[in-house]
């Protein structure tokens, strides 16, 4: 083969391999966006071009076009500053969720960058979205005439399973209202919570999404048809960080995909950790919970206990200034969490239990003290506790003594560290690297134009058909009928026999 034809071949190969991918990460959650950017980076490394629409702009990356959804960012900042998203009451959660996603949807469709995509229909090969509670977005893939891939930042659960008819098993805890056992009552609780969340979506969120679809993409098929046309669901999960559960062939687990490469730490943090010979702790409530939520008294208790740990060192993420922080504590507004957890001197991670933090903790084998607030955080901490690499703590009951005893438990009992290391080995020891797996499946969908060969027939069944409610009902009615007929027949035969017997005087005498 001549050099020129070799070059031509390379060009051709590149031509078929380089795809133009549109990723829409509209949820105003920084941790989601971090995942989105990492996914984009992984795809770019494989020669693709990614256009990403999101409320947060990351540092520029070659091959990544960023579309800033600024109005969603502003809305999120307003809520974040007001600490409005933190509440434990289920009715408040539901009310706030509905209002939140309605607002975010409105803002999304009015964004100039999205309007431009609708008008100009730029050429893409596939659209990746995280569209839970903002389902109308699935219309964009149809509008552009390309397959759509759903990205779930929290693994499979009752809110996303229907995209690919992945079964909702009763032993998979409800994400927001997790049960702790498999007793009848616990299962009843799980199913009730699942139904409750579905009814909420069905009555308060989906109708609005239908209206949005009609308003902004009037030529689209119905929302239901769009939802049934998702080619693939990528899930940021793995059995090392959640309870094992079934997955249909187009539900692909890629948990850990964003952790393959650790970046160099900023100079000051690196020095701080390198010289922490007695070990270091990271305190971070993630990107959505404000440290201010603890209030003055609890923060004082927290800092007192952390101060006592010296010469151990503590990295503390906080949006506030803490003038009286002890000398062994370094306070920062933002910290590269995953890269910090990768540092060999890390001994513990005090976390709110977001899935991102959980995954990073498991990946790098650092045990946790979990202080969950809302969403899936309680479930994540529960899973981590039962896997033996975490202790939990209720933030409402946080006192100096309790906080001290939990930290000491994690630092002094080697069991937690050992379990964290074991989980780390599980997530790192996969046959295929999670990012390679993600890229393979995205390319698979691009290559074959859709995912119809992966689609299971459950996609065309109603919930009562998929979960065999109609069959069980049929059998219940059938068995009732049979029992009834048997009973009636026996009764009639008995009467008949008695009548015969009473006509037989010999027998009567004998008895
Ligand atoms: C389903 O997706 C395919 C591409 O994967 C597309 O060609 C088709 O128009 C879509 N149909 C509906 C109803 O969304």
- Please state, in angstroms and as integers, the Cα–Cα distance from residue 167 to each residue in 110, 160, 348, following that order: 35, 10, 36
Please report the pLDDT score of residue 461 as a whole number.
Answer: 93
248 CA from centroid of ligand 1 (Å) = 20
Q: What's the burial of 260, exposed, middle or buried (CB within 10 Å: 0-12/13-18/19+)?
A: middle
Choosing from 228, 229, 447, 459 the residue with most ligand 1 atoms within 8 A of its CB, the one to mutate for a pocket test is 229
pLDDT at res. 511: 46
What is the per-residue DSSP string for 153-188? TT-S-TTTGGGTT----TTSPPSSS--SS-SHHHHH
Q: Is 226 in the pocket of ligand 1 (CB under 6 A)?
A: yes
**Ligand 1 mean position, distance from CA 121 (Å):** 16
pLDDT of res. 147: 96
As given in the structure block, the two tokens for residue 497 are: 């026999």
147 CA → ligand 1 middle, Å: 6
Pocket mutation for ligand 1, best pick of 450, 454, 460 (most atoms within 8 Å of C-beta): 450
Going by C-beta distance under 8 Å and a sequence separation of 6 or more, which residues neighbour residue 160?
Answer: 132, 150, 152, 154, 166, 233
Q: What does the DSSP 8-state code read for residue 249? A: T
Distance 464 CA to ligand 1 centre (A): 25
Q: Say how many Å lie between the CA of residue 439 and the centre of ligand 1.
A: 21
| Distance from the alpha carbon of residue 452 to the mean position of ligand 1, in angstroms | 10
Nearest CA to ligand 1 atom 14: 226
Query: Does residue 229 line the site of ligand 1, with CB under 6 A?
Result: yes
Domains and CATH numbers, the chain: 10-259+433-466 (3.40.50.2000), 267-428 (3.40.50.2000)
Burial of 426 (0-12, 13-18, 19+ CB in 10 A): middle
- Determine the atom of ligand 1 nearest the C-alpha atom of 449: 5
Whether the Cβ atoms of residue 253 and residue 166 lie closer than 8 Å to each other? no
- Classify residue 284 as exposed, middle or buried by CB count within 10 Å of its CB (0-12, 13-18, 19+): buried
Residue 285 vs residues 342, 343, 509: alpha-carbon distances, Å: 18, 19, 91
Which atom of ligand 1 approaches the CA of 142 most closely? 14
Q: Is the peptide bond before 242 cis (omega within 30 degrees of 0)?
A: no
- Expressed in angstroms and rounded, the spacing between residue 229 Cα and the centre of ligand 1 is 6
CA distance 96 to 227: 24
Integer angstrom CA distances of residue 399 from 46, 175, 404:
50, 27, 8
Q: Which atom of ligand 1 is nearest to the CA of 231?
A: 5
Closest residue to atom 1 of ligand 1, CA basis: 229
Write down the number of H helices and E strands in the chain: 20, 13
Distance CA 170, CA 188 (A): 9
Residue 231 beta carbon below 6 angstroms from any ligand 1 atom: yes
362 contact partners, CB below 8 Å, separation of at least 6: 240, 241, 384, 389, 420, 423, 424, 427
Spacing, Cα 33 to ligand 1 middle (Å): 27
* 251 C-alpha to ligand 1 centroid (Å): 18
173-221 confidence digits (pLDDT tens):
898 888 888 899 999 999 999 999 889 889 989 999 999 999 999 999 9
- Encode 268-320 in three state secondary structure: HHHHHHHCCCCCEEEEECCCCCCHHHHHHHHHHHHHHHHHHCCCCEEEEECCC
147 lines ligand 1 (CB under 6 A): yes
Q: What is the pLDDT of residues 47-89, one digit of tens each?
A: 999 999 999 988 888 999 999 999 999 998 887 776 655 555 6
Ligand 1 pocket test: which of 131, 142, 230 has the largest number of ligand atoms within 8 Å of its C-beta? 142
Q: Looking at residue 291, what is its pLDDT?
A: 86
- State residue 131's pLDDT score: 80
End-to-end CA distance of the chain: 109
| pTM higher than 0.95 | no
Give, using CA atoms, the residue closest to atom 3 of ligand 1. Answer: 147
Regarding the beta carbon of 148 and ligand 1, being less than 6 Å apart is answered no
All residue ranges of the chain with pLDDT < 70 are 1-17, 82-90, 505-511
Ligand 1 atom at minimal distance to the Cα of residue 146: 4
CA of 22 to the centre of ligand 1 (A): 16
Q: Which atom of ligand 1 is nearest to the CA of 450?
A: 5
If you measure from the C-alpha of residue 451 to the centroid of ligand 1, how many angstroms do you get, rounded to a whole number?
10
CA of 142 to the centre of ligand 1 (A): 6
* Sequence-separated (6 or more) residues with CB below 8 Å from residue 421: 365
Paired sense of beta strands 126-129 and 148-152, if any: parallel
Long-range contact list for 89-96, CB < 8 A, 24+ apart?
90/176, 90/177, 93/176, 93/374, 94/200
Cβ 221 under 6 angstroms from ligand 1: yes
Q: Is the CB of 450 under 6 A from ligand 1?
A: yes
């Amino acid at each position: 083969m001549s050099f020129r034809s070799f070059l031509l071949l390379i060009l051709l190969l590149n031509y078929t391999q380089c795809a133009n991918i549109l990723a829409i990460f509209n949820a105003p959650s920084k941790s989601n966006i971090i995942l989105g950017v990492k996914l984009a980076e992984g795809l770019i490394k494989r020669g693709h071009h990614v256009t990403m629409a999101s409320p947060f702009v990351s540092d520029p990356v070659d091959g990544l076009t960023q579309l800033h959804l600024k109005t969603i960012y502003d809305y999120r900042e307003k809520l974040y500053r007001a600490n409005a998203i933190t509440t434990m009451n289920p009715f408040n959660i539901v009310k706030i969720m509905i209002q939140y996603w309605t607002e975010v949807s409105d803002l999304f469709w009015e964004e100039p960058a999205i309007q431009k995509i609708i008008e100009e229909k730029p050429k893409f090969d596939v659209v990746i979205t995280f569209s839970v509670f903002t389902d109308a977005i699935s219309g964009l893939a149809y509008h552009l005439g390309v397959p759509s891939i759903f990205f779930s930042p929290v693994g499979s659960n009752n809110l996303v399973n229907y995209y690919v008819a992945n079964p909702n098993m009763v032993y998979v805890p409800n994400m927001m209202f997790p049960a702790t056992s498999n007793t009848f009552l616990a299962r009843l609780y799980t199913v009730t919570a699942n139904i409750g969340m579905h009814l909420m979506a069905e009555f308060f969120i989906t109708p609005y999404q239908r209206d949005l679809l009609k308003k902004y993409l009037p030529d689209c098929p119905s929302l239901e048809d769009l939802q049934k046309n998702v080619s693939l669901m990528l899930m940021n999960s793995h059995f090392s960080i959640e309870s094992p559960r079934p997955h249909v062939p187009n539900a692909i687990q890629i948990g850990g995909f964003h952790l393959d490469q650790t970046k160099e730490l900023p100079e000051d943090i690196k020095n701080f950790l390198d010289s922490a010979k007695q070990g270091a702790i990271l305190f971070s409530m993630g990107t959505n919970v404000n440290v201010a939520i603890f209030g003055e008294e609890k923060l004082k208790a927290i800092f007192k206990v952390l101060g006592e740990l010296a010469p151990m060192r503590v990295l503390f993420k906080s949006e506030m200034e803490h003038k009286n922080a002890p000398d062994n504590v370094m306070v920062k507004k933002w910290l590269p969490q995953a890269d910090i957890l990768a540092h060999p001197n890390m001994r513990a991670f005090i976390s709110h239990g977001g899935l991102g933090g959980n995954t990073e903790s498991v990946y790098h084998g650092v045990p946790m003290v979990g202080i969950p607030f809302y969403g899936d955080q309680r479930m994540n901490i529960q899973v981590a506790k039962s896997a033996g690499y975490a202790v939990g703590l209720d933030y409402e009951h946080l006192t100096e003594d309790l906080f001290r005893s939990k930290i000491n438990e994690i630092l002094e009992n080697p069991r937690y560290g050992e379990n964290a290391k074991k989980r780390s080995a599980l997530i790192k020891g996969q046959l295929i690297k999670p990012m390679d797996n993600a890229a393979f499946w995205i390319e698979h969908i691009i290559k074959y134009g859709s995912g119809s060969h992966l689609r299971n027939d459950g996609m065309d069944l109603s919930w009562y058909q998929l979960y065999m409610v109609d069959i069980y009902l049929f059998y219940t009615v059938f068995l009732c009928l049979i029992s009834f007929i048997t009973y009636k027949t026996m009764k009639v035969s008995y009467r008949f026999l008695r009548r015969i017997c009473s006509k037989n005087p010999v027998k009567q005498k004998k008895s």
